[in-house]
């Protein structure tokens, strides 16, 4: 029983030393490394893939890659008869 406890302690120490746990791993994350876009809003994402604060609201919805706002506002959303789901312009149809 004592051997299992010692093994767990040694494993945890080893993982922490390699940057796989605790505050040390969080210190290595680079803030604002990239952006993601969801439901017409862009957010900053750090290098540890954690979503950070909102960057901007997209007037035309998200681009097809889901990383930025759509640049072309000439698109006409196709939401007639739809409840939720993509609107064909990088945005989402409302839940009505």
Taking only the tens place, the pLDDT of each residue in 17-50 is 445 555 555 679 999 999 999 999 999 999 999 9
Task: Check whether 89 has a pLDDT greater than 80.
Answer: no
Q: Tell me which residue range forms the domain holding 10.
A: 1-29
Cα–Cα nearest to 71, from 80, 79, 61: 61
- Whether residue 73 lies inside any domain: the answer is no
Instruction: Report yes or no: 4 and 34 within 8 Å, Cβ to Cβ.
Output: no
- Whether residue 14 lies inside any domain: the answer is yes
Dig out the tokens for 69 from the structure: 């706002």
Q: Indicate the number of domains in the chain.
A: 1
pLDDT at residue 16 in the model: 47
pLDDT at residue 82 in the model: 78
pTM for the predicted model, two decimal places: 0.52
pLDDT, mean of residues 48-59: 95
- Whether residue 12 lies inside any domain: the answer is yes
CA distance 63 to 6: 51
Task: Check whether 3 has a pLDDT greater than 70.
Answer: no
CA distance 12 to 90: 44
- Whether residue 8 lies inside any domain: the answer is yes
- Whether residue 6 lies inside any domain: the answer is yes
């Amino acid at each position: 029983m004592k051997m299992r406890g010692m093994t767990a302690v040694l494993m945890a120490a080893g993982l922490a030393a390699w940057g796989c746990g605790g505050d040390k791993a969080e210190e290595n994350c680079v803030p604002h490394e990239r952006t993601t876009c969801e439901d017409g809003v862009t957010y900053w994402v750090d290098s540890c893939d954690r979503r950070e604060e909102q960057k901007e609201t997209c007037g035309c919805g998200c681009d097809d890659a889901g990383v930025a706002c759509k640049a072309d506002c000439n698109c006409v959303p196709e939401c007639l008869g739809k409840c939720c789901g993509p609107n064909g312009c990088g945005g989402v149809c409302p839940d009505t």
